[in-house]
Amino acid sequence: ARQAAGPPFPWASEWMCVTQIQLSSAVGRPRSYSRSNGTGSSYWKTSSRMAQKEKEMCIGRKKFNMDPNKGIQYLIEHKLLTSDVQDIAQFLYKGDGLNKTAIGTYLGEKDPINLQVLQAFVDCHEFANLNLVQALRQFLWSFRLPGEAQKIDRMMEAFAARYCLCNPGVFRSTDTCYVLSFSVIMLNTGLHNPNVRDRPPFERFVTMNRGINSGSDLPEEQLRNLFDSIKSEPFSIPEDDGGDLTHTFFNPDREGWLLKLGGRVKTWKRRWFILTDNCLYYFEFTTDKEPRGIIPLENLSVQKVEDPKKPFCLELYNPSCRGQKIKACKTDGDGKVVEGKHESYRISAANAEERDQWIEAIRASITRVPFYDLLSARKKKIVGK
């Protein structure tokens, strides 16, 4: 099993942080001061208090990155933050030493204090005289957008309201800004995701956004500027793991050896499977850093199946598009990433219990892409007005 490289004990990261501060404080002490001297005594007390505060702030950041709510509570208890939502929002907005995924987690919570901090956090952003793509670049770089639809909805709702407040007259309603923001995010995926072969042309982007401005169309020049901006420069999304795919596999939902049916001549091959982040990855060896294949699980279903050649089988399929290829990718014999050709994936486990555990884990991981549902619901709202 893959394990994250790092401190062997939960407390080790905090201990390492404190040790670094103590060492840096020791290095910076002037030799001319003496503990027995009055001036020196005052210096030592001030220096000691500063070192203590630095230590507590470092611990607070570490706690926040592991559990955002507990981290904020620790900082408040040690008087490094007040409980005022503006103070907390500024702390998150500056983001010094904070994990951007943790920031997104905190802002996405539904507790009243978190909702107030979200609003204050969005208000920290100045969007005046920025076009929508420029504003989205700034906003989406300040934290990592979570995956849950309700959290995304609240965050993008707050963004749209703030953008329209900073730029009155650009859109007729915040709903227009909300819908166009999602369209731009999906356009970014369509234009720059290496697994998407059908690149959306400008005309499709225009068609997708017809009638969203309170029943009217947005100016084509405005849409062209947004399209060209995304086409020339994709969004930079925070990657707290440094972009290393291996990080994804540190804490999987499930992993293990399974047999997979595939190839031009259908044969069963033993593969190491990892289930994490709503994707199923498979490797030739457990030591491989890059997967042989990636199967995104959104919109798929899983079921038990009988196979004449192998027992304990399960099948991944798209219930709404039977007979069509599943969106997936793999590496071919030359190491090139190519589109998968499976209409379904048949996999065999070692026994019935293991098969059922995989099915349960996959079902728990499967999710629909939230952007499409949110976009569809908001377009219906605009049409209904």
pLDDT, tens only, 216-242? 999 999 999 999 999 999 988 776 544
**Phi, psi at 318, each rounded to 5°:** -100, 110
Architecture of domain 116-240: Orthogonal Bundle (1.10)
Contacts of 20 (CB under 8 A, 6+ apart): none
pLDDT of the residue at 243? 41
pLDDT of the residue at 106? 96
Residue 298 to residue 373: CA distance in whole angstroms: 12
CB neighbour burial string for 306-315, b if at least 16 within 10 angstroms, e if fewer: eeeeeebbbb
Which tens digits make up the pLDDT trace of 9-19? 443 444 445 44
CA distances from 357 to 260, 308, 362 (A): 17, 22, 9
Instruction: Please answer whether residues 84 and 127 qualify as being in contact, where contact means their C-beta atoms are separated by less than 8 angstroms.
Output: no
Task: Give the three-class secondary structure for 363.
Answer: helix
DSSP string computed for 193-249: -TT--SPPPHHHHHHHTTTTBTTBPPPHHHHHHHHHHHHHS------TTTT-GGGGG
Mean pLDDT of 285-302: 86
Helices 112-123 and 85-94: crossing angle, nearest 10°? 60
Active-site choice (77, 126, 148, 353): 148
Instruction: Please answer whether residues 86 and 120 qualify as being in contact, where contact means their C-beta atoms are separated by less than 8 angstroms.
Output: yes
DSSP state of 146: P
pLDDT of the residue at 197? 65
Which tens digits make up the pLDDT trace of 158-169? 999 999 999 999
Domain ranges of the chain: 12-81, 116-240, 245-365
Using only the alpha carbons of the chain, give its radius of gyration: 26
Q: Which amino acid is it at 253?
A: D
Which tens digits make up the pLDDT trace of 101-143? 899 999 999 999 999 999 999 999 999 999 999 999 999 999 9
Tokens of 66: 């592991």
Architecture of domain 245-365: Roll (2.30)
Task: Give the three-class secondary structure for 170.
Answer: coil
Contacts of 153 (CB under 8 A, 6+ apart): 370, 374
pLDDT tier for residue 316 given thresholds of 50, 70 and 90:
very high
The answer to whether residue 290 is catalytic is no
Q: Which residue has the tokens 């595939």?
A: 262
